[in-house]
Structure 1
Amino acid sequence: MPLQVPTNIITGFLGVGKTTTILNLLKNKPANEHWAVLVNEFGEVGIDGAMLADGGAMIKEVPGGCMCCTAGVPMSVGINALLRQKPDRLIIEPTGLGHPKQVIKTLTSEQYLNYVDLRATITLVDPRNLSDTKYLSNNNFNDQLAAADVVIGNKVDQCSSEDIDTFNDWVSVQEPALIYHQLVKQGNLPIELLDIERREALTSTIQNEREQQLHDHSDMEPVFELPPEQAYIRRENKGQGYFSCGWIVGAEHLFDFDQLFSMLSDLTAERVKAVVNTTKGCYAFNVSNQVVTVNEISLQGYESRIEVIDSQLLPWAELETILLMLCGIKV
């Protein structure tokens, strides 16, 4: 029998800190191990792959929120490509707007029986969201929590005591009971959690109650690349009540760091992710609830990529004009 690769799904809604968590796990992995990460994004331009590339893992991206579709062709192609590299562990990060049950169904199918050792599904949640009706009424948010073997309450340093009590109360009433739960900050969870075995009963009761909402992206293009003759491109996506717009800008165009930071701080979109070449170097920007987090990364010669997601259709053309101005591209 071929070697089964230990595999974990790390899921959670938009802005909960999945990518930061995976980066922390990569920093703390055994030095002699080679890990692979399959990452899916709702947006079209591929931000997480660039962020995770600094972690030293093998990365494969699936664009446009399609990983969790019933057919799962793009996901299977990505998994197969990574398994051929014989990693010591595979981590799968579905989009924050994805259906984790479909990912579990694929990984536990006969297709991967001899190749994947699926262990605990870890769902990250911001405890503050457990009191917000916008999240509690969202099917995907509830799907992600229902699929979890382990629930991690992230961003505890930003939570009130009431938020923490809500998280603890929610955990205590789950049926079936969770295998493990913990409150952490900045995605710092123990690496040992990856080896917790999943609940077999959860997989056996998976229902496809919303399969009709899913769609086949078997002919979808790969993550968009910038044609050599263009200074930038823009791509949009929509679905599940959300809209996204992404830009790829040539590496030769540098964004003014201070003006970009100020603009992102003022932007009211629910989620912004970016890897940008700036006047101060290459930086990863994460924006959630108008809080901007910035980390310097070591990518060289990589195009700037910016993705904005919101539940309302935003004036993308106006935002584009501002972005191009910040990097000196004449409109």
Structure 2
Amino acid sequence: MLTPTNIITGFLGSGKTTAILNLLKEKPANENWAVLVNEFGEIGIDGAILNHQGILVKQVPGGCMCCAAGVPTTAAITSLLRSKPDRLIIEPTGLGHADKILTILMSEQFKDHIDLRATIALVDPRNLSNSKYLNNENFIEQLNIADIVIGNKIDLCTSKDVDTFNDWVTDQNPPKIYWQLVKHGHFPYEIVNNIRRSQPTTNVHEHHHHTQMAEPLVLGSDQQVIRRENSGQGYYSCGWLFSNQVEFCFEDLVSMLSDLSAERIKGVMRTSKGYITVNISNGVVSITQAPEPSDDSRLEVIDSQKLPWDQLDKILHQLAGLL
């Protein structure tokens, strides 16, 4: 039996994980889904968030999941398929090459196991007027290979942004099979069942990243914190993994993170007000309560400039009471 499979792609901060969380809430109660998550950073934030949704999740952290001949990806997909899920969702990093993921899924290895459905790309319409994104190879590629395009964060857009999105999407050739403007990553659950276009529009190319993908990090019995950095595609990341014994003051942590000038901040943190999910993108701060993880706290900061990581590391250690 073939497993229906969707790629949900989109650039950094477009709302992929939120959209997947919404889909998981709306999926049929009798279906078991699996999710493969790839992240640019090496800490694994999205996997930690999705792990509390009662589904099977595997992570490929530390870069584009199609690197290293796709070995980590193919191994992870094979493992997930062994659980016989009713659907497989794949979330590539927003800084990765989604075209090569398509190639892996359409390979001989998976042709008798995967029913590849429509690829869904999320885009912030505001970025369609920004040369920083329009000149980015990955941004262009993610939108080109998509069968379905969701213009997300419409609540933050101007009427000009909406017009730009509508003009762009109607000019696509071949045309997209579906598009919609939404907020908070909410789109109709049924679109995951759309079949993909018969002829893929991918131009697969070779590429390289600064580092190879890492295995998911695990704290040793005597460790309270691990820090890892990554870089590639013109972006830099620094992430921290804290022991579950570490508790941050809620007010101090949120204040510090809100003041950072980074393009993307994401985390699941244990605080004086319980575990919280932190999501900061382009200055918009979202703090929500999270189910209490049993293992650790995780934080990832990504920016197009290399930030003073040592200084931030010291501040986090102070907030954690480790100095």
Residue 104 of structure 2: aligned partner: 106
2-structure distance, mates of 1:19, 1:90: 14
Residue 64 of structure 1: aligned partner: 62
Per-residue deviation, 1:233: 1.0
Residue 117 of structure 1: aligned partner: 115
Per-residue deviation, 1:201: 1.0
Q: Which amino acid aligns with 1:51?
A: I
From 176, 179, 182, the equivalent of 2:180 is 182
State how 1:191-270 maps to structure 2 within 5 Å: 191-202=189-200, 205-208=201-204, 210-213=205-208, 217=212, 220-270=213-263
2-structure distance, mates of 1:259, 1:50: 23
Structure 1: 4+ residue segments shifted above 2 A: 205-208, 212-217, 299-302
1-structure distance, mates of 2:68, 2:219: 30
Residue 128 of structure 2: aligned partner: 130
| Residue 322 (str. 1) matches residue 315 (str. 2) | yes
Residue 288 of structure 2: aligned partner: 295
| Residue 162 (str. 1) matches residue 160 (str. 2) | yes
Aligned length: 323
| Secondary structure, aligned partner of 2:322 | coil
Per-residue deviation, 1:70: 6.3
Residue 137 of structure 2: aligned partner: 139
2-structure distance, mates of 1:140, 1:166: 20
- Give % identity: 58
> Quick check: 2:60–2:214 contact (8 Å CA) kept in 1?
no
Q: 1:285 to 1:215 in 2, by over 3 A?
A: closer
Q: Structure 1, unaligned stretches of length 5 or more? A: none
Q: Which amino acid aligns with 2:238?
A: C
Residue 170 of structure 2: aligned partner: 172
Q: 1:70 to 1:179 in 2, by over 3 A?
A: farther
From 3, 11, 14, the equivalent of 2:12 is 14
> Quick check: 1:107–1:116 contact (8 Å CA) kept in 2?
yes
Per-residue CA deviation, residues 34-69 of structure 1 (Å, 9 max, x unaligned), is: 000000000001100111112221100001113122
Q: 1:199 to 1:10 in 2, by over 3 A?
A: same
Per-residue deviation, 1:189: 0.8
Q: TM-score, normalised by structure 1?
A: 0.95
Q: Tell me which moved more, 238-247 or 295-304.
A: 295-304
Per-residue CA deviation, residues 228-284 of structure 1 (Å, 9 max, x unaligned), is: 111111001111111110000111110111111111111000111101000000111
2-structure distance, mates of 1:75, 1:293: 30
Per-residue CA deviation, residues 160-205 of structure 1 (Å, 9 max, x unaligned), is: 1110000000011101100000001001111101000001212xx5
Once superposed, what is the RMSD of the aligned Cα atoms? 1.3
Q: Which amino acid aligns with 1:146?
A: N
> Quick check: 1:70–1:102 contact (8 Å CA) kept in 2?
no
Q: Which amino acid aligns with 2:41?
A: G
> Quick check: 1:70–1:211 contact (8 Å CA) kept in 2?
no
| Residue 76 (str. 1) matches residue 74 (str. 2) | yes
